[in-house]
Amino acid sequence: MRMIHPAAWAGLLLNAVLAFMFFQAIAVMDLGTLEPAQQEAWGEMKAIILDTIRPIYLALLLMQAVALALIVHEAPFALPLAIIGGLLTIPVGFVYLLGSLLTHYQVRYADFAVARMGYAGAYHIFPASALKKIRILTSASLIVFVLLMVPNIQMAASFLALAVVGLYCSLRAGKNHALALYNEGLTLTPTLLAPTVMLPYSSITLATLHENETIQFEVNTPGGPRSLVWPLHTVDPEQRREAIEELGAALDARGVPLQ
């Protein structure tokens, strides 16, 4: 599981291909068909793009590749580096940015079993609280995209990319619930972009409810004892108290009371 998410590779490749096409088009641009005054102005712009902007962009692509490798090795500064690299290449960088976040959480929760059993056997399901907000953000981004298409196509492209990312997150939030309880264990999604993990009740040694509205689980995994912090804000506010009570009852019935 400790591998780079396909979305990160796709984003990095998309950045590289589009950058190559853009700089290649500038390099072969024929200025001979322009008026002398225009030739001078475009010649200066061409020199700036090829001599200054191109090396900077290539350095950003290298930084993005290095950041992915560092994320896999869990370097503490890897994710901020990837976020900076993604933001500096927006709107195309949105794909890379999303892939980097998915890679980070994939590596972070690699020691836990990914839930693949679906929700058919769950006797209690708590949907993700972020779903409504993401749908509103996605709809707003699409509206702004339409309004900006004519006056500012570059800004419009950024909102279109944001809408695509929002649509992906919306589908993910609708598919991966915040918490689901089964007879043999529970599944939970620590954050929106994290994988939904399965925790058998037999693997949980301690569960602690903290004042900052998080629950910390101490879990025995194949890689050894691990801690997992689950924020309660992933559940809708009106269902949080019920989630705590149902989870506490399930754990207490298996001899692991929620402290």
C-alpha–C-alpha distance, residues 176 and 193, integer Å: 10
| 197, β-bridge pairs | 114, 188
Q: What is the pLDDT of residue 214?
A: 86
Q: Which fold has domain 179-253?
A: PH-domain like (2.30.29)
**3-class DSSP string for 150-164:** CCCHHHHHHHHHHHH
Give the pLDDT means over successive 10-residue stretches in the chain (259 positions).
Answer: 80 89 82 71 80 89 92 88 86 85 88 74 76 74 74 72 75 75 85 84 86 84 85 82 84 77
pTM over 0.75: yes
Q: What is the pLDDT of residue 1?
A: 44
> Domain boundaries in the chain?
6-108, 129-175, 179-253
135: left (phi over 0), alpha (psi -120 to 50) or beta: alpha
Cβ neighbors of 141 (< 8 A, separation 6 or more) are 159, 160, 162, 163, 166
Q: Which amino acid is at 122?
A: A
How long, in residues, is the chain? 259
CA dihedral 91, 133, 99, 80 (to 10 degrees): 80
**3-class DSSP string for 212-227:** CCEEEEEEEECCEEEE
Provide, for the chain, the percentages of residues in helix, strand and coil under a 3-state DSSP scheme, each rounded to the nearest 5. Answer: 60, 15, 25
Q: Which amino acid is at 172?
A: R
Q: What is the pLDDT of residue 67?
A: 92
The distance of Cα 86 from the centroid of its chain, to the nearest Å, equals 12
Q: What is the pLDDT of residue 117?
A: 58
Which of these, 72, 73, 59, 74, lies nearest to 9 by C-alpha position? 72
Q: What is the pLDDT of residue 131?
A: 66
Q: What is the pLDDT of residue 174?
A: 67
- 162 within 8 A of 144, measured Cβ to Cβ: no
User: Which H or E run includes 200?
Assistant: strand 197-200
